[in-house]
Structure 1
Amino acid sequence: MFPSLLFEIMLIGFLGIGSQWLSWRYRMPAIVVMSVAGLLVGPIFGIMNPEEDFGELYKPIITVAVAIILFEGSLNLNFKELRGLGRPLMRIATIGAFIAWIAGSLTAHYIAGLSWAVAFVIGGLFIVTGPTVILPLLRQSKLKPRPAKILKWEGIIVDPIGALLAVFAFEIIAYLTAHNPDGSALLMFFAASIFAAILGWASGKGIGWMFETGNIPEYLKSPAVFVVVITCFTIADEVMHETGLLAVTAMGMTLANMGISSVEDMRHFKENLSILLISAIFIMLAASLDLDTLLHIFSPNIIGYVLLMMFLVRPLSIFLSTIGTDISLNEKILVGWIAPRGIVALTVSSYFAAILGEAGYEDASIITTLTFGLVFFTVVAHGFSISWLAKKLHLSMEGRPGTIIVGSNGFTVELAKSLAKSKVPVIIVDESWERLRKAREAGIPFYHGEMLSEQTEYHLDTTPYEYLIAATDFHSYNALVCTTFMPEYGRTNVFKISPYKQIDSKDTNDIVNKIGGRILFGEELSADDLTTKITSGFGFKQTAITEQYNYNRYLDERDEEAVLLYFIKPSGKIVFYTEEMKSTPESGDTVVSLSPQDKKIQAKLENRRNNNGNQ
C-alpha cells in the first residue's frame, strides 16, 4: 500500500502523537483516540497492516517497547509513596489478583465458552492493567493522590504477576495433562521467576553503582540504561517466556529507591520516550487486527464476558481484598471500576494463543478476539468515565487550576489573596517560619519547607496546581526552582519575578534569563518594587472586559502606574502577564491589576491621618 516501510513508520508516529494531541486538545482519553485511529487505518480501511509489513521484526519491536514502558513505569515506584498504602496495596496485588484470576477463569469458561485449560491461562493474564493504560488515564483525570497511587502501583506491579500467572497456569495444565507427568517444568518456572527477580535487582544495583561512582559519563547514562534494560529483559525472557517483565520491573524499582540524582535527571527523557512508544504500539496493534476479529468482538458470548469482567469480577476482587483496610467506600468503588487492559494483555495473549493452539486447544483461536474485546471496551468505558466518576465520588481535584507561589513576602501574600478571591487554589511555600507569618495571618494556605527538598515531594500535594511562581529574594534560586519544575508544569506555566533591578552584571542577567522560567509582569519590576507598591497603598483591582468595555478601552483608561498581573478566562484558566505573552483578554475575561488607590480615597485617608495627628 505504501511506497516504503519508512513511510509506514512515519504514519504510525504521526497518528500516535496526533492522537495524543487531539486527546489533550479536546480532553478525550488518549488510548481511545489511538485505538480508533489504529482501527481506521488497519482493518476498517485496510491502509496498512504492521504485523504483515514488518514481518519477523513486528513481535521483537512490540516486546522491546513493552519492556521499556514497564521499566519506565516501575522507575516511578518509590517506596516512600507507600506511606499509609502498603497494606491495602499489598492485598490488592496478592489476594485481589488471586480472586480476579479465579473469578475471571470461571467467567471465561462459563460465559465465553473456553475450555478449563484455556480459561485459567487467560484468567491469569487478564488481571493486568499496566502503565500503558493507567498512567494516561491518571494524567487526564487529576485524581486525588491516594486513589491515583493505588491505581499506579497496582498497574505496574500486577503487570508481570499477570503474565507469570498465565505461564504458571499453562505449566500446571501441561503437567496435569501429560501422559508421564514430570514436575521439572514447574520447578523450572519457579527457578526462572526467582532468577528474573534477582537479575533485575542486580542490574539495577549494578547500573546504579556505576552512576554513583562516575564510571559512566553523563552523555552515556540514558543509552546505557536502555541497553541494560533490553539486556536484562532478553536474558530473563530467553530463560522462560514472560519472566522478562518481572526482571525489568525489579530493575526499575531498585533504581527508583537508590536515591540517585542521575535517575531523576533522566526521568523526563524516559517519560517522553515512553509516551512515544505507547502511541506507536497502540496504533500498530490496532492496525494489525483483521476485520473478522473486529466483527467477532460483538458476539454475545464475548460481550457477556467483558461485561461480567467489568461489573462483577473486578469490583468483587477489590472489595473482598480490601476488607479490614482503611480504604474508603468511595475509593473502593473507583478502584473497583477502573481496570483498563492494555499492551501487555494484547502482546502476551498472542503468545499463548499460539502455544495453546499448538498444544491442541482449538478454542485458543478466539483468545486474540477476546483480548482485544476486553481491551477496547475497558479502555473506552474507563477512559470516558474516570473523570466523571471521580468527581461524583469526590476523589478528583475539582475547581480551577491552582498556583504554587515559592517565597513569602508582602507582594506574594497579596497576590495569593487576590487569586483566592477569584476561587483559584493557591499555596505559598517557604522554608522560613518567620517569612510565612504574613501568609498565616492572612489565612492563606502555606507549606513550611524547602521547595526543592525530596521531603516536599512526598508531603506537598501538587495535584491541584498547574502554575508555579518563584518569587524569593534569591534570584538564582528562583531560576533553579523554575528549571527544576519546568518539565512537570510546562515551559509556559513556570514564572519568576524579574531579577534585573538587583543585578548589575549583564552577563549574569543573561545567565539567569536562560536558566528557566518566564519573567512576570515586566523586566523593570523586581520583587522589591512590587512589595514597595503594596506598602505604599497599591491594591489589587479586578476589571471585567465586556463588549462595551473592551480591552483597548481598558488600556487607554487605566492608571499609568498600574501593573497588569493576570487575567482569568470564564473557564478558570489563568493567563499571567509576561513580556512574551501573545494572548490578550477578550469579552468575558477578568483583568487583575496592581493599581494605586483612587485619588479621592487617598485624599480622605491623608486628611484622616492629619486630623488624628492634630488631636
Structure 2
Amino acid sequence: MLHTALQTVTIAVVAGVASTLLGRRLRIPPILFFLLLGVFLGPLGLGWVRPESLGNGLVVLVEIMVAVILFEGGLSLSTHSFRKAGAAIRRILLISLPLTGLGAAVLGRLILDLAWPKALFFGALIVVTGPTVVGALLKAVSLSPSLRSLLDWESIWGDVLGVLLSGVALKFILSGSGHGPERIGFLFLERLLLGLFVGVLAGEILRRWVFPFVMRLQEPALPGVTAFAAALGIFHVSNLLSEHSGPLAAAAAGLVLSIGKTSAIEDVRHFKEQISIVLIGSIFVLLSSTIDPFAVAAHWPGMLVVALILGALVRPASVLVALAGTPLPWRERLYAGIVGPRGIVALATVAYADILLKGDPVMPIITNLTFVIIFLSGAFATLVSRPLAALLDVELPSSGLGILIVGIHPLSSQIAQFASQRIPVAFLDTNPSTCSLAQGWGHQTVCADVLNIHVYEEALEQGYGRLLAISNDDALNQLVAQAAAVQLGPHRVFRAKADAAGDPLLMETPHPPRQAFGSGFSVREALDELKQGRATLEVLSVDGKVADHVTPLLIFTEDGKGVEIVENREGIRGSALCLVRKPPRPDDRQAF
C-alpha cells in the first residue's frame, strides 16, 4: 500500500510538472495535458496512478492546493486593476455568476433530471473559472489592461464565491430538508463575513508584524516558507470556525498583503508560484484519474448537451447581460463571455463532495459532467483564445504596449516624443528634480524607485508593458532591467549600451534583456555626437537596407498603431526614427 501511494504521488508530480513545461513551451494552458494524462495514467489506462491508495490523503492535498492557489491569487490582485474595470468586475461577480449558476442548475434539472438540491450544487460549483487556467491564458494572450483585470478578478473571486455557494448547497444536501431558504441564506452570509474577517485580520498581522520580523532575519528562503505556512493556517482556522470559509479567508489575506505592498511580497510570490506548479499539476492529474466515464455511459448524451449549452449560450449570455452598460468595449465583453475555461477548484469541489456522498448514485453523473465541462472549456480556450483575440481585435501586440524609459536626456526625450505619437510613453526616475525636468519637456513621468519591482507591476496594469533602459550608466541600466524583468518579462525589457567600451564588472543574468539599437550603439557616444552637431535625429523611410552612418532606433509598425524598439539593422522597413551621423569635414580629420 505504501509503495502504491508513493508511486501514485511520484508519477502524478512528474506528469503534472511535465504538462506545465509543455504548456509553457507551446504557450497554451496546460489543463488539457493534466486531464488527458490523468485518465491515461489512471485506472482506466496504464493504472500507474491510483488515487484510492491515498485514502483521505487526497482530500488533504486538495485542501492544501485550494489554500495555496487562492492565497497566491489574492497576492496577484491590486486595487489599481480593480479601479480600472471596477464596474465590470462587480457586475460579473454579482450578476453573471449567479445567472450562470442558475442556468446550469436548470439545465441539470431539465436534461439530467437532477433533484433540485443536487442541481443547485452543480450550478454553484460550475460558475468558477479559476486562476490556474485563466492565468495560463493571460500569459499566452496579450490582452488590454481592462480585460485582463476583469478575467483575473473573476477567476479569483469567482472561485471563492463558487466554493462558498457549493459548500452551502452541500450542507443542504447532507442535512436533507433540515434547512429552509432563510437558513441557507444565513449560512452563506455567516461564512462570507467570517471568512472576510479572518482573512483581513490575518493579512494585517502578517503585514504589520510577521513579515517585518522575517525580513529582519535576512534569510531569502524564509518569506516564502512563512507565507506557505500562513496560507494553510489561515485556511484551516477559518474552516474550523465556519465550514468552507477557508478559501475566502486565504484569498482575502493575500489581497491584504498585496494592497499593503509588503516588502517580502515578491519572494512570497516566487515561492508560491513554484509550489503552485507542483501542486496544481499533480493534483489535477490525481483528480482526473478518478474519473470513470463508463459508470454513467447512459447519461453521456445528456451531459454533452448540458456542457455545450452551458458554454455556448448560458455563459456568454450571462456575461453580456451583466456587462451591458459598462465602459468595457463590446468586443471585450464578447471575448470575456466566450472564453470562460473552468479550472481545478471546480474539480476539487466535486471530488470533495463525491467523497462525502460516497455511494450516492447521482454523484458520478455530476463528477463526470464537471470533468467534461472542464475538458471542453479548457480545450476551447486553448485552441480559440488567441485566434479569437485577433479576430475581435482585443489582442494587444507587444508593439502596442506602452514604454517606460529610464534615463532622461535630449536623446531619450526625442525618442519619447516619437513613440508617444502611437503608444503611451512615460519616464521613470527616482529623483523628483529629474522628473520635473522631463515634465518641463512635456513628457509623462512616474517618479518612484526604479529598482522597486512593485513599480513595474503597477505600470503593467496601466498598459506600460515594456521598459527601455537608456541612461548613460551601464550599471544602472542593468539593475533596472533586472528589476523590470521580474514583472514585465525579459523579452519586454530593452537595455541600450551606455558606454562603447562596456563595463567588464557587469554580470550577465540567466535571462538577459534585449539589446536596444544594436551592439554598435552607445548612449554616451550618441549624446556627444548630438551635442557637437555631428549627428541628428531624423524620421526616415527605411526599406530593408540601412546605410552605415544611419542607426535606426524606433520604427512604426506597418499598421501605424504601434512602435517597435529596433534591436539590429537587418530587415527594417517603414518609418523609423534614426540617428543620422554627418560625414566628417576635412578639417576634422586627423593628419598622419
Q: Same fold (TM over 0.5)?
A: yes
Deviation at 1:473? 3.6
Contact 1:172-1:186 at 8 Å conserved across structures: no
1:510 maps to which of 505, 509, 516: 505
Q: Given the superposition, is the C-alpha separation of residues 205 and 463 from structure 1 closer, same or farther in structure 2, using an over 3 Å criterion?
A: same
Q: Deviations over 1:523-559 (max 9, x none)?
A: 99652123234552377996848xxxxxxxx9xxx85
Which residue in 2 is equivalent to 1:530? 526
Q: Deviations over 1:58-104 (max 9, x none)?
A: 22122201210111011122223222532332222123222222222
- Please, what is the CA RMSD of the aligned residues? 4.5
DSSP 3-state at the match of 1:472: coil
| Cα distance in 2, alignment partners of residues 519 and 366 from structure 1 | 52
Which residue in 1 is equivalent to 2:432? none
Query: How does the TM-score come out when normalised to structure 1?
Result: 0.77
| Cα distance in 2, alignment partners of residues 64 and 148 from structure 1 | 27
Deviation at 1:204? 0.9
In the TM superposition, what are the counterparts of 1:24-43 in structure 2 within 5 Å? 24-42=24-42
DSSP 3-state at the match of 1:449: strand
Which residue in 2 is equivalent to 1:471? 470
Q: Deviations over 1:177-210 (max 9, x none)?
A: 24x9899898666545433332222211111111
Q: Given the superposition, is the C-alpha separation of residues 37 and 404 from structure 1 closer, same or farther in structure 2, using an over 3 Å criterion?
A: farther
In the TM superposition, what are the counterparts of 1:7-86 in structure 2 within 5 Å? 9-42=9-42, 45-86=45-86
Contact 2:224-2:267 at 8 Å conserved across structures: no
Match status 1:307 vs 2:297: no
Q: Given the superposition, is the C-alpha separation of residues 185 and 263 from structure 1 closer, same or farther in structure 2, using an over 3 Å criterion?
A: same
| Cα distance in 2, alignment partners of residues 487 and 434 from structure 1 | 28
Contact 1:142-1:463 at 8 Å conserved across structures: no
Answer with 330-339 or 185-194: which moved more: 185-194
Amino acid at match of 2:232: I
| Cα distance in 2, alignment partners of residues 292 and 127 from structure 1 | 26
Deviation at 1:24? 3.4
In the TM superposition, what are the counterparts of 1:413-452 in structure 2 within 5 Å? 427=425, 429-431=427-429, 432=435, 434-435=437-438, 447-450=444-447, 452=450
Contact 2:415-2:554 at 8 Å conserved across structures: no
Deviation at 1:345? 0.6
| Cα distance in 1, alignment partners of residues 305 and 509 from structure 2 | 58
Q: Given the superposition, is the C-alpha separation of residues 257 and 51 from structure 1 closer, same or farther in structure 2, using an over 3 Å criterion?
A: same
In the TM superposition, what are the counterparts of 1:33-432 in structure 2 within 5 Å? 33-42=33-42, 45-172=45-172, 177-178=177-178, 190-211=189-210, 213-214=212-213, 217-219=217-219, 220-290=222-292, 292=294, 296=297, 299-356=300-357, 362-398=361-397, 400=399, 404-412=404-412, 427=425, 429-431=427-429, 432=435
Q: Given the superposition, is the C-alpha separation of residues 413 and 512 from structure 1 closer, same or farther in structure 2, using an over 3 Å criterion?
A: farther
Amino acid at match of 1:527: V
DSSP 3-state at the match of 2:468: strand
Q: Given the superposition, is the C-alpha separation of residues 489 and 272 from structure 1 closer, same or farther in structure 2, using an over 3 Å criterion?
A: farther
Contact 1:447-1:460 at 8 Å conserved across structures: no
Contact 1:449-1:456 at 8 Å conserved across structures: no
| Cα distance in 2, alignment partners of residues 172 and 85 from structure 1 | 35
DSSP 3-state at the match of 2:46: coil
Contact 1:567-1:576 at 8 Å conserved across structures: no
Contact 1:405-1:426 at 8 Å conserved across structures: no
Contact 2:42-2:49 at 8 Å conserved across structures: yes
Q: Given the superposition, is the C-alpha separation of residues 326 and 574 from structure 1 closer, same or farther in structure 2, using an over 3 Å criterion?
A: closer
Q: Which runs of 5+ in 1 are unaligned?
A: 441-445, 546-553, 578-583, 607-615
DSSP 3-state at the match of 1:259: coil
Answer with 193-202 or 378-387: which moved more: 193-202
Contact 1:160-1:245 at 8 Å conserved across structures: yes
| Cα distance in 1, alignment partners of residues 552 and 7 from structure 2 | 49
Which residue in 1 is equivalent to 2:480? 481
DSSP 3-state at the match of 1:75: helix
Query: How does the TM-score come out when normalised to structure 2?
Result: 0.80
| Cα distance in 1, alignment partners of residues 6 and 162 from structure 2 | 35
Contact 2:498-2:524 at 8 Å conserved across structures: no
DSSP 3-state at the match of 2:362: helix
Contact 1:501-1:524 at 8 Å conserved across structures: yes
Answer with 15-24 or 227-236: which moved more: 15-24
DSSP 3-state at the match of 2:77: coil
Which residue in 2 is equivalent to 1:548? none
Q: Deviations over 1:246-294 (max 9, x none)?
A: 121121122222232222443233233323432333233223433526x
Amino acid at match of 2:160: P
| Cα distance in 1, alignment partners of residues 426 and 459 from structure 2 | 14
Percentage identity across aligned positions? 24
Deviation at 1:105? 1.0
